[in-house]
Each structure stands twice: as C-alpha cells, then as structure tokens.
Amino acid sequence: MSDVKTAIRLAVVGHNPLLYLCTTEEDRVVGVLRELAAEPGSGLSEPRLWSCTHGLEGVEGGAAMTDPAAALAAVAAFEGPATWVFADLAPFMQRVEVARRLREFYFAAREKGDRRIVIIAPETVVPEMVRKEVHLIDVPPPDEDAIGAEIERFRRDHPDCGLRTEDWTEVLLALKGLTLAEVGHILRRAARGGQATREQIMEALFAEKEMLVRKAGYLEFCPPRLKLSDLGGLDNLKDWLEKRRRLFTREAMDAGVQMPKGLLMMGVSGCGKSLAVKVISSFWNLPLFRLDMNLIFSGAYGNPESAFRGALNTVESVAPAVLWIDEIENSLGMDEKSGVHIASHIFSAFLTWMQEKPPLVFIAATANRISALPAEIIRKGRFDQVFFLDLPADSERAEIFRIHLARNGIDLADVDMNILTIMTEGWNGAEIEQAVIAARVEAYYEKRKATQGDLSASIARIVPLSQTMEEQIKFIRSWAFSRAMPASKFGKMKRRLVQ
C-alpha cells in the first residue's frame, strides 16, 4: 500500500485536484487517506465521504445530497481545505452535469492546491470531458507486509490454528494478489474446524480463486486431481518440472532465481499434452485456469481484444497460477496455406504480455497443428521450453498400461506386459487407455475380472492413429526435430537450440 501512499502524496504536491483510484478496496484506500491526513505537513485534510446512500459528510444538510450533482455543487461551494472522497461516482460519470461539475472543480481548485476530490471505483470510467483533468492512480493489490499483518492478526485471534511458521512464507506468497478482505475470508474459512493448516488454507485459497475467476467468465478452473505418477513416461518433461518445482516459492524469489514463464507442448494427438498441463498444476501446487479462446472470440464478452486483455488481467489477479491455453494454434496461430494470422491483434497482444507478464503466472500451452504456429511463438525467450510429445516408447507404453490397469482395477499379475507392449507398437496413451477401459467393460458385462484375453481382444479392435495418420505423424516428427526438445528420454532427436 505504500506505493499508493506515495502516489497520493505526489498528487498532493502536484496540486492535482481530481484523483481517480481504481480499486474495489474502498476501506483500504480511505484508510491510507486517513493515515496521510494525520501526517503533519502532508497537505491532505481529513477525508469526507460521499456515497449515493448516505450523501455527503461534513456539510450542512449533506445527508440529503444523495444525488451526485447536488453533492458536487455543495463541494464547489465549500470554502477551505478539504478532501472529498466519492465512492459511488463511476456509474454517474457519464451524466453531463457530473462531468461538468468535476471539470469546474478542477479549474477552481488547481491553483489553491488545498482541496481535492478523490474518486474510488472498481472500474475506470472517465468521460472525455475530464480525461485530461483526472489523475489516475494505480492501486496494486496489498503488498506482503499488509498480508503478513493480516495473517499475524489472524494468528493472534486463533492461537491454536496450526499454521506453522515454516509454512508462513508459502502461504503469504499464495495469498498475494487478493484483497485484504479476501485474505481475511480465506483464513477464517480455512479455520472453520478450529485449525488452519497450510493445506487447509491452500484449499480455501484455491476455492476463492476459482470463484473470482468464475465471476469473470472466460476462464475455467481445473481442479487439481492428478499426480505426477498419473503421467506415464515423458521423463525429460518430468525432470524439467521437478527441477522447477520449488521456484514458485519465497526462498527462490529471495535468492533471485528467475521463475519460468511458460512451457509449450506440442505433438502427436493423445500423447498426454493436456494431461501434462493438469499434472503441472498439482505437482507445483498452483491453481490451473484454462482460457477458453472460443468464448473470447464468441463476442459474449465484448470485442475479442478487450475480452482477451480482461482474461489476462483476471489471471494476473489470482496469481500465482498456471494459465492453460489449449490448442494455441487455433486462436493465436495462422492459416497454414496463406500464412496470415488468424487474429493478429490478439496475437501481438499475447506476445507483448508474454514479455512483460507478472512472473507469478505460468503459461502452459499446447499445440497439435504445429505448422500453424508462427515462428515468433516458438522463438526462445517466449517459452522457457518447447517440448515435443511423441508416441511412447516400449517401456513408456508399459508404464501407461500400469497406470490405466491400476485405475481400472485390473491386477498386474493377470497380464503379460511384454505382449501388451508388443501389440501396441506405435500407439498413443489415449488409445492404450481406451483398450484398457474396453477390456474392463467387456469383463464387467460378464461379471468377471478382466484378463489378458480381454485386453488382447480390445487391442485388436482398435486401429491406432499412427496407422491412419502415418503421413501427418511423420511430418510432425520432422518438424519437431529441429524445433523442440523431446519430452521422452527415448526421444531419438538430438536437442538443438531453437533460433
């Protein structure tokens, strides 16, 4: 909050009579104004509030001035130093007499420097008439000191809450980006059973973030259900994730280790790209939000550019988080024949955002039609790594079988893994899963346990993509050879730096 304080101080020094603070945290901003007013020589007088329900504070008959134009007229007539805080003005800003009053106030007050109107609103609505006169002040979410103080207060009120000192920094980092009111709600909700351990706070926090995102609309929360062990093979990818697991923590931030920006996973369909994204979120203990680009383009949230910007802002507000953009080539790619970008404005907005985005948002992008991906996306510096997910090797297929056999209650002792891997040469993970499910359904129908025979029969019935799409898979492989790192340790391709 100190930044806002400094910004207000500077505005006071600069004799700016019209300040606009865009935030939902009215109480917090009014608190800062009061603190400043109490500082000797700050040049700011005690705030007097106006709201459309309680009228204007500090003037005679002010309670009746629930109409903003009447309140602004009283403000204009007031003689002497004053700080007028207008909390509900945004919806009335387009009224010509409101904009006119603000404009007049500006010209009357700018030389005096002892009076000002502070508009606090959850959105920025500044009519053309006063655009040049209004001084906008950014209100960042509460800093770590403020959140730390909130946690401290909570621990004082709940001495038996069970939050250990060693978990403190992680919880603090995870709560960043939320308002103090939200932090308070989360802590109290987590402590409903008397305890608020790190795990309980994280659970309440994920739920809060999910709700915030649901309200915004274009992002979908994906609950953390999968573990690293649900992903078969892909050891290079797993190793990469393991090495970065502790980077979204306070210690790593303090040590100045750069956080990874994002990962692009491309490759053969059904080889676990979407699955890998879900695993990242639970493995790193970060909430996962899927950006639905179809919704962005649908027009349901206004023009696609501002909807896209809105989605990015929303995810920033719930960081640390993983932002998943599935099949990125469909929205940010180009037409393969003409080479023309599908949505060039959105594409360039995305590239700029990738460059400047807050470090606590990790992008997980997936792509199938890789030739539709523009070179700028793949270029080093945007994503930390571009992984290619190929069809699984023998031992990887065995691992994928083990995962799905266990999930379907089929005993490993009842199957011959060697035969299964030989029979499924060239298969992807999705096909293996399908074969196991089909074997189980068959056996369940006959009220018995699934056997090797059921599996062999279901394998024989499935025609894998590698047969029907042989040419495409060859093309994807040759394309990926020079551009991406194999996600599997059996990747035959040599790694080459992407230019």
Q: Shortest CA distance to 328 belongs to which of 263, 283, 244, 281? A: 263
Q: At closest approach, how far in Å is the CB of 349 from Mg ion?
A: 24
Q: Which stretch binds Mg ion (CB under 5 A): 160-168, 273-281, 308-316, 410-418?
A: 273-281
Q: Give 88's contacts (C-beta < 8 A, 6+ positions apart).
A: 50, 51, 52, 53, 68, 121
**Per rule CB under 5 A, is residue 368 in the interface with Mg ion?**
no
The Cα–Cα gap between 320 and 316 comes to 8
Q: Which is nearer to Mg ion, 274 or 428 (CB)?
A: 274
Q: Which residues contact 381 (CB under 8 A, 6 or more apart)?
A: none
Which listed range, 7-15, 64-72, 110-118, 266-274, lies at the site for Mg ion (CB under 5 A)? Answer: 266-274
**Closest to Mg ion by CB, 70 or 295:** 295
Task: Confirm or reject binding of residue 452 to ligand ATP (CB under 6 A).
Answer: no
Strands (E), 230-284: 262-267
The yes or no reply on residue 187 touching ligand ATP (CB under 6 A) is no
In whole angstroms, the minimum distance from the beta carbon of 365 to Mg ion comes to: 11
Per-residue burial over 271-306, b if 16 or more Cβ lie within 10 Å, else e, is bbbbbbbbbbbbbbbbbbbbbbbebbbeeebeebee
Helix (H) or strand (E) holding 55: strand 55-56
Contact positions with ligand ATP (CB under 6 A) in 404-443: 429-430, 433
Strand order in the sheet with 385-389: 219-222, 288-291, 321-325, 361-367, 262-267, 385-389, 485-486
Task: Pick between residue 25 and residue 230 the one whose CB is nearest to Mg ion.
Answer: 230
Instruction: Kindly provide the b/e burial profile for residues 173-210, where b requires at least 16 CB atoms within 10 angstroms of the residue's own CB.
Output: bbbbbbbbebbeebbebbbeeeebbbebbbebbbbbbb
Task: Write down the least CB distance from residue 364 to ligand ATP, Å.
Answer: 11
Nearer to ligand ATP, 23 or 366 (CB): 366
273 binds ligand ATP (CB under 6 A): yes
Tokens, residue 364? 């997980």
Among 83, 236, 274, 282, binds Mg ion (CB under 5 A): 274
Residues in contact with 445: Cβ distance below 8 Å, sequence separation at least 6, in sequence order: none
- Closest-by-Cβ residue to Mg ion is 274
Footprint of ligand ATP on 233-262 (CB under 6 A): 233-234
Length of the chain: 499
Is 331 one of the binding residues for Mg ion (CB under 5 A)?
Answer: no
Name which of 237 and 296 has its Cβ closer to ligand ATP: 237
Chosen from ligand ATP, Mg ion, none, partner binding at 270 (C-beta under 5 to 8 Å by type): ligand ATP
Minimum CB–partner distance for residue 376 and ligand ATP (Å): 22
Among 47, 55, 272, 304, binds ligand ATP (CB under 6 A): 272
For residue 265, the cross-strand partners are 366, 387
E strand intervals along 401-454 = none
Q: Write the binding mask 360 to 379 for ligand ATP: x where contact by CB under 6 A, - elsewhere.
A: ------x-x-----------
Name which of 19 and 400 has its Cβ closer to ligand ATP.
Answer: 400
Among 249, 274, 385, 488, binds ligand ATP (CB under 6 A): 274
Give the nearest distance from C-beta 423 to ligand ATP in angstroms: 17
Q: E strand or H helix at 216, and its extent?
A: helix 198-216
User: Which helix (H) or strand (E) element contains residue 136?
Assistant: strand 135-138
Q: At what angle do helices 180-190 and 198-216 cross, to 10 degrees?
A: 130
CB of 491 to ligand ATP, least distance (A): 14
Binding stretches for Mg ion (CB under 5 A): 273-274
Binding stretches for ligand ATP (CB under 6 A): 231-234, 269-275, 366, 368, 400, 403, 429-430, 433
